[in-house]
Structure 1
Amino acid sequence: MNADQKAARYEEVAKEIAAVIDGENHVIARMATVSNILHHAFDHYFWTGFYLVDPEKPEELVIGPYQGTMGCLRIPFGKGVCGVAASTRETQIVEDVHAFPGHIACDARSESEIVVPVLDTAGELIAVFDVDSDKKAMFDAIDRKGVETIVKAAFG
């Protein structure tokens, strides 16, 4: 898939997700739908899902709806790619997760990753959206724009 095809696919998927979640207010249902549709839309998606901010432990993420192999159950803020995205509230794109300081290997087959902070309508962090690939350097600016656009439309 070339860059133009990938960008067009993200636009199609964004419309599909918006149509499916229209009128659904439950955040877990929305997350399950986003992770499912995106996971099946792209061949380079190996693990696709959410880590939610734990209301009882606000500096920790807990596994949420996902597609793929087993995920880590909990990730502290600042640890691994997801924890860094949560603490900085900035999207992280990592070409080689094994070179990322403090990487948490939930599945050793993961090679590259993108993690997007999920903010609610008040601008509060409620989760991070994590996508792993089993190939190196699979995420770029097109993925960033596509995923950030979908997450903002679904939760922001």
Structure 2
Amino acid sequence: MSAPDHRLTAEDLLSAATGLLAAEQDPLANMANLSALIFEALPDLNWAGFYLYRADASALATIFTLTGSTVPSGQPVTAQRLTEAQSDALLVASTRGELVLGPFQGRVACTRIAMGKGVCGTAALSRATQRVPDVHAFPGHIACDTASASEIVIPLVLSGRLLGVLDLDSPRKDRFSSADQHLLETLVAAFLATLPVSA
């Protein structure tokens, strides 16, 4: 599957994304439309989409034990209530989760990615953008699509909590520039700004 030939400028892409996000409150719908918009707007992509962070049961148990919380399921514990030692333990607990495939455009993708594995798992674990000019030189790269040659992954972090990552792949080496990184991080920030702090 290839993206259409029509491309948008960076300004047009930000404007279109802002319009989409203002018109809809459902995060899943917004992720689906952002994936499609990015895939249409940026040249030389073979995949654009989201992976969502899911903590495993033992990590969730650790989180609630650390806080002594009885917060009902589905309502997150805020980092502001944790001591420094608890925050450190919470970070360790969060490494036991995984990334699960979310809305995307492109070929069939890997469904689950362990924290710290591949470019997506590394971005999620480090909570830092990973811009990889040659994925074949990246230790532990996960080849969901063998056509991919370069990749950029931006973590989705809201109020100190990891929600997932935005992942873009290209069949061209060194496809993603620092300007692309800035643009995509701006798009992610705009998306995160639409979410309630308790999302």
Same fold (TM over 0.5): yes
Q: Percent identity?
A: 44
* Structural RMSD (CA): 1.6
Q: Residue deviations 1:69-106, cap 9 Å, x none? A: 01100000100000000000000000110110000000
1:154 is displaced (CA, Å) by 1.0
Which structure 2 residues correspond to residues 62-81 of structure 1 after superposition, within 5 A? Answer: 62-81=100-119
Q: Residue deviations 1:93-121, cap 9 Å, x none? A: 0011011000000010000000000123x
Which structure 2 residues correspond to residues 1-156 of structure 1 after superposition, within 5 A? Answer: 9-56=9-56, 59-120=97-158, 122-156=159-193
Q: TM-score, normalised by structure 1?
A: 0.90
DSSP 3-state at the match of 2:123? helix
Q: For residues 23 and 141 of structure 2, what CA distance do their matches in structure 1 show?
A: 37
Runs of 4+, deviation exceeding 2 Å: 55-58
Give the number of the structure whose alpha-carbon radius of gyration is greater.
2
Q: For residues 90 and 81 of structure 1, what CA distance do their matches in structure 2 show?
A: 11
Q: For residues 35 and 28 of structure 1, what CA distance do their matches in structure 2 show?
A: 11
Q: For residues 139 and 190 of structure 2, what CA distance do their matches in structure 1 show?
A: 31
* Alignment gaps of 5+ in structure 1: 1-5
Q: TM-score, normalised by structure 2?
A: 0.71
Q: For residues 181 and 36 of structure 2, what CA distance do their matches in structure 1 show?
A: 18
* Alignment gaps of 5+ in structure 2: 1-6, 58-93, 194-199
Q: For residues 44 and 22 of structure 1, what CA distance do their matches in structure 2 show?
A: 28
1:11 is displaced (CA, Å) by 2.0
Q: For residues 64 and 144 of structure 1, what CA distance do their matches in structure 2 show?
A: 21
1:56 is displaced (CA, Å) by 4.2
